[in-house]
Amino acid sequence: MSETITIAAAYGDTEAYVARPDPPAGGVSLPGVLFLTDVIGLRSRTRAMADRIASWGHVVMVPHLFYRFSSAEDWAPAEDLLLPEAREAFFAAAMPRARTLTPDTVRPDLIAYLDALRALPGVSDRPVGVTGYCMGGRLALNVAAARPSDVAAVGMFHAGGLVTDDRDSPHLHLVGIDAFVLAIHADKDRSLPHTAVAQFEHALTSSGVTHAATVYPGASHGYTMSDLPAYHHEACEHHFAELEALFRRTLST
């Protein structure tokens, strides 16, 4: 079961896709999951992923992160991203706008998304899970740090830019996160080279964050996304299995 709804973000309304188990839970409250997309956003692939996660017994909400710029339909690629020319054109337009969503800028949105998820009918009052992909992995850490008592688990997959020279680098802002963090990095990821993987692991440990971090061999940045050339079926299935196990351990009602 799924629907697209309108929710309040920090600076206006945005769309959100909500997926529930089918058949319905029959009045039983279910754990909530906030799904934070990559820069390509809310589209067929991320809706299908949300449906699969919902089938495990969760209510999953996928907000349109880029409402400041356009609707979800207008933001989504108009052409097949398996085509090199289409990819180049999409990312050339999307990346400069996405970079304006700095950690401080986007945090009020993330809190609003979390509140909207928790207010959905049928969502239990227990802490939720958050899963994030590419830039969504960074955002997942951000919301877990902002509302530690409300987030029990974070899954982050092929998340780039976790270690930078900036003062707002994600690896510098992990203290206070109470969630269990599962990170599965891509072996061939220019946005997170192996030295950065080691630095991020050290930062998690030093900050006292309970975590499990691995690198999937042979996988590239974007390995979960079947609408990209980087898709790696085995790595994607591994991510689903590990995420399901994480949520089973941490979100049980």
pLDDT of 201 > 90? The answer is: yes
> Residue 22: what pLDDT?
86
Per-residue pLDDT reduced to its tens digit, 143-182: 999 999 999 999 999 999 999 999 999 999 999 999 999 9
| Phi and psi torsions of 196, nearest 5° | -70, -35
The answer to whether residues 37 and 136 touch, using CB atoms and an 8 Å cutoff, is: yes
> Residue 25: what pLDDT?
65
Q: Which two tokens stand for residue 203?
A: 């930062």
Using CA atoms, how far residue 41 sits from 126, 158, 167, 194, in Å, is: 27, 15, 26, 26
Of 22-26, 45-49, 129-133, 239-243, which range is least confident? 22-26
Judge residue 191's burial from the number of C-beta atoms within 10 Å of its C-beta, 0-12 exposed, 13-18 middle, 19 or more buried: middle
Rounded percentage of the chain residues whose pLDDT exceeds 70: 98
Q: Provide the H-helix boundaries in 147-181.
A: none
Report if pTM > 0.95: yes
pLDDT of 27 > 80? The answer is: no
Distance CA 155, CA 164 (A): 20
Domains of the chain: 2-251 (3.40.50.1820)
pLDDT of 253 > 60? The answer is: no
Residues in the chain: 253
The answer to whether residues 162 and 170 touch, using CB atoms and an 8 Å cutoff, is: yes
Q: Quick one: which of 71, 70, 69, 89 has its CA closest to 79? A: 89
